[in-house]
A and B are shown apart, each in its own frame.
Chain A
Amino acid sequence: SQQGEEDPQALSIQEGENATMNCSYKTSINNLQWYRQNSGRGLVHLILIRSNEREKHSGRLRVTLDTSKKSSSLLITASRAADTASYFCATDGLTGGGNKLTFGTGTQLKVEL
């Protein structure tokens, strides 16, 4: 089964609003990453947060990590139509030398004008 579960599965908002996506995972991790996928394309890395970090910012992105709850959230502020895409969290487990990279189920974000 997938390491990560994300919610909501789909989110529709108006341009200018904030979008929040959540990710929960099952096992202990080295780090957690967020990726974006435009329809039918490969994934693009957005941001990485290490297990000893609680919050990280990059431009309009804000990521939080709560290792006690095994959860993370991605906040996109002041959303734009171009942010329409699917968003995935991914985790590096502590086992296997951190070589596995497993993804969550994803959130489909639609930003309407």
Chain B
Amino acid sequence: EADIYQTPRYLVIGTGKKITLECSQTMGHDKMYWYQQDPGMELHLIHYSYGVNSTEKGDLSSESTVSRIRTEHFPLTLESARPSHTSQYLCASRALGVTEAFFGQGTRLTVV
């Protein structure tokens, strides 16, 4: 079983609120990722990191921001949530080299 955890599992929040989605892994992986998944299931890469103090934007423009101050922690923040942010957010990590990714269980965010 993968040691990567996302909290909260479900979140319903009002428009304009600031939220932080947590992602932590205990495997010592350098690479971490955030994906946004549509109801129709396509995964969009929104942020990734290849180590402490490195963050990169993914393929899908996002109003969210991320930080990587510690290897094990990769939180995603929305400064002002909107209904268009309603989606499932998946966090993943993997080791350096040609390796498989391990995924958390996801956070289902609903902005009302």
Q: Size of chain B's interface in residues, with CB distance under 8 A?
A: 27
Please measure, in the bound complex, the distance between the C-alpha atom of A57 and the C-alpha atom of B108, giving whole angstroms. 34
**Which one, A12-20, A61-69, A93-101, is touching chain B?**
A93-101
Contact B105 A92 (CB under 8 A): no
Candidates A40, A48, A92, A105; contact of B106 at CB < 8 Å: A40
Main secondary structure of the interface of A (DSSP, over half): strand
Q: Min CB distance, B87 to chain A, in Å?
A: 13
Question: B102 contacts A45, CB within 8 Å?
Answer: yes
Instruction: State whether A103 touches B43 (Cβ < 8 A).
Output: yes
The residues of B that contact A1 with a CB separation of less than 8 Å are 59
**B79 interfacial by beta-carbon distance below 8 Å:** no
Q: How many A-B residue pairs have CB under 8 A?
A: 69
Interface presence of A79 (CB below 8 A): no
Contact between B42 and A2, CB atoms less than 8 A apart:
yes
Q: Are A31 and B98 in contact (CB under 8 A)?
A: yes
Minimum distance in angstroms from B10 CB to a CB of chain A: 10
For B31, B33, B43, B108, the residue with the greatest tally of chain A CB atoms inside 10 Å of its CB is B43
